[in-house]
Amino acid sequence: MSPPLWWQGAEDPVPGGVSRGSAMDRLKLSRIDEELESSEVASLCFLCRDVVNRKRLEGITDAKQLFLRLEEKGLLENDLFLIQLLQTIRRTDLLSLLETDSSPPAEADANPVLSEYRVMLYKVYEDMTQENLEKMKFLLSKMLVKRQIETSNTALDVFAEMEKNSLLSNTNLEELHKVLLEMDRQLASTLQRYMDGLARQPQTRGPHVSMDYQTGNSTPQPPAAHNVPISETQPSSGGMIVCSDAGEKTDPSPLPDHEGYYALTHKPRGLCVVINNEYFPGTALKSRRGTQEDEKALRRVFTDLGFTVSVHNNLTAKDMRQELQTLGARSFLDEDALVVCVLSHGDMGCVFGVDDQKVSIQDLKQPFTSRRAPTLAGKPKLFFIQACQGKSYQGGSMPCPPRPREEPVDEQSRLEEDAGPLIGETVPWEADFLLGMATVPQCKSFRYTSTGSIYIQELCTQLMRSAESLKTDDILSVLTRVNNEVSKGEYANYKQMPEPKYTLTKKLVLTRVDPDDVILDEQGLKLVLLSESKDPPVYRLMSGKQTHEEQLKLREKQKAKVGMWR
């Protein structure tokens, strides 16, 4: 099939060697162009204002013209930047058109990343009503000329005019903040959260990238000071931002968003997904009695730690892969971390679906690499696996003097093993992953049929102990204590030794969400405060799924400042 006509007229490679995409790549882009509405194209152009000369964006009316501009900048050499754009405008349905071949992706630190400044403005635009827009234009009428006001049909148009008049930039947000406070405090809180993060996260200025900004009426933007976190380097509007590699501070800080720590500033902190496989009908694998206690403990602990908890029960191997692939395709711009807990039978390097089919650890992690989920780049991704990793039992040498058994003898008969019949594959490692395994390779793990698994129960205990402590123990210190406590026990005359593996690049400290920010509604559903402004308060359901009726009910309560929510 020949390339679409609009590609055949494209210019030759620009000086510097940026190559034109293949015919197949262009066919994919042509299909995406056909699916995008004109308003969505305008949104994409706004998001690209930091990476494409603004004069080159003028007059663009369809996506194919924008794709040519991005190609000139070398931004279509892989799919990463386009994936970020589509996720930001909520068109993840188009990601299926970007299925790539087997060639390895480019290095993560070579990929462009949308600045959080530009994404934040887009979020304000998304939440703005027509009434808000008219009020904003009225409030800005003394600062912008009449023509600029009249030609602005959306909030994005207004933001662009403010940038042209030096009223708005990634480090100059005061005027916009004043306007938003006058018209809608919820919109102002979105901007305030960005400003708070800007003040907390110092960056080091790096070498400039060649960017041909317009030198006429437009004012060049300084480098974005607060971008989506990513390991090593990330492009911005004026150059390359280099994340500091400085050593730890001498005095421990209780705040996990200081330099050297992963930032946890969003509410909720992130998403916790629990896959709980209990029944394995028609297979040789036994039902995993007691696993519901693990699910309850994980839900309780991670809810208290500020995560939205989602539980999936009794999934086949295919369903497990599909659920995680769907999850990886969503946007994580409003979340700081991801936690995935898998409770099932397993063997070396794999876990089992309820159909007795294996899912490798690699398959569990793959949807969340920086290549597949760019909005998770530079953010911690925690995987906790309660499953056997082989058929062998863990032995141990008795200390001197001997330590008494910590488990009553009559409990041993109610210990079970999470083992399966197959052998899987080894685990690959990418940046910012932590993998907490219930046991070392080739060995079994144990679970009480009444109180849950040894590993998960101890993990939850130590997480809460750390979260409530005055110390700032990071996740690796917590897992070391888990290792210590589990290794002390003796289970059916055998031992168990958990094994954490990680490629984290910073320290991660998990703390409880401020109790003032968590409330219960009349039905006992736990809600977390989203808006920094409490007039009116804005809350989100922390666990479970909301129906449309529940969402409408929650919105009405938000508007009505219900006193019982306190």
Please tell me whether residues 235 and 286 are part of one structural domain.
no
Shared-domain flag, residues 121 and 106: no
pLDDT band at residue 216 using 50, 70 and 90 as cut-offs:
very low
Residue at 508 is within a domain: no
Cβ atoms 109, 230 nearer than 8 A: yes
Q: Which of 43, 42, 55 is nearest to 218 (CA)?
A: 55
- Start-to-end C-alpha separation, the chain: 63
> What is the domain extent for residue 175?
117-242
Cα–Cα distance for residue pair 488/396, rounded to 1 Å: 10
- What CATH number does the domain containing 102 carry? 1.10.533.10
pTM of the model: 0.50
314 and 364 part of one domain: yes
Higher pLDDT, 506 or 236: 506
- Is residue 284 located within the same domain as residue 366? yes
Question: In the chain, what is the greatest distance between 2 CA atoms, to the nearest angstrom?
Answer: 87
CATH code of the domain covering residue 498: 3.40.50.1460
Q: Is residue 405 part of a domain?
A: no
d(Cα 331, Cα 223) in Å, to the nearest integer? 24
SS (H, E, C) 439-463: CCCCECCEEECCCEEHHHHHHHHHH
Q: Are residues 236 and 303 in the same domain?
A: no
Same-domain pairing of 95 and 133: no
Same domain, 124 and 161: yes
Domain boundary among 78, 111, 144: 111
What is the band of 323 on the pLDDT scale with cuts at 50, 70, 90? very high
Q: Tens digit of pLDDT for each residue in 273-285?
A: 999 999 999 988 8
Cis peptide before 401 (omega within 30 of 0): yes
For residue 180, CA distances in Å to 14, 123, 129, 153, 556 come to 42, 13, 12, 18, 21
The pLDDT value recorded for residue 209 is 31
Same domain, 147 and 234: yes
What is the residue-averaged pLDDT of the chain?
A: 74
CA distances from 162 to 177, 236, 359, 369, 511 (A): 12, 20, 51, 36, 39
Residue 388 annotated in active site: yes
Write down the catalytic residue from 48, 388, 443, 460. 388
Catalytic annotation on 272? no
User: What is the mean predicted confidence (pLDDT) over 8-35?
Assistant: 58
Alpha carbon separation from 350 to 136, 356, 361, 442, 446 (Å, rounded): 55, 11, 5, 11, 17
Q: Is residue 282 part of a domain?
A: yes
Confidence band of 78 (pLDDT split at 50, 70, 90): confident
pLDDT of 219 strictly over 50: no
Question: Do 338 and 449 sit in the same domain of this protein?
Answer: yes
Highest mean pLDDT among 211-220, 258-267, 437-446: 437-446
In a domain, 254, yes or no: no
pLDDT exceeds cutoff 50 at 210:
no
Classify 233 as helix, strand or coil. strand
Q: What is the C-alpha to C-alpha distance for residues 42 and 132, in angstroms, rounded to an integer?
A: 19
pLDDT score of 441: 87
Q: In this structure, what are the phi and psi dihedrals at residue 45, rounded to the nearest 5 degrees? A: -60, -40
Asked if residues 121 and 47 have their Cβ atoms less than 8 Å apart, the reply is: no
Q: Which residue has the higher pLDDT, 223 or 58?
A: 58
Report how many domains make up the chain.
4
How does pLDDT run across 539-565, given as a tens digit for each residue? Answer: 555 544 444 555 555 555 544 533 333
Place of tokens 């998304």: 126
Q: Is the pLDDT confidence value at 335 over 60? A: yes
pLDDT band at 235 (very low <50, low <70, confident <90, very high): very low
Residue 510 falls within a domain, yes or no? no
- Is residue 204 in a domain? yes
Residue with structure tokens 């086949």? 316
Residue 352 above 90 pLDDT? yes
Shared-domain flag, residues 121 and 105 = no
257 domain residue, yes or no = no
Listed residues 61, 94, 111: the one ending a domain: 111
Tokens of 561: 């400042």
Q: Which of 345, 350, 443, 460 is catalytic?
A: 345
Q: Kindly state whether residues 175 and 280 are assigned to the same domain.
A: no
pLDDT above 50 for 310: yes
Query: Do residues 227 and 335 both lie within one domain?
Result: no
Residue 358 lies in a domain: yes
- Identify the domain boundary among 65, 88, 111: 111
**Whole-angstrom Cα distance, residue 13 to residue 26?**
15
* Spacing of C-alpha 350 from chain mean position: 24
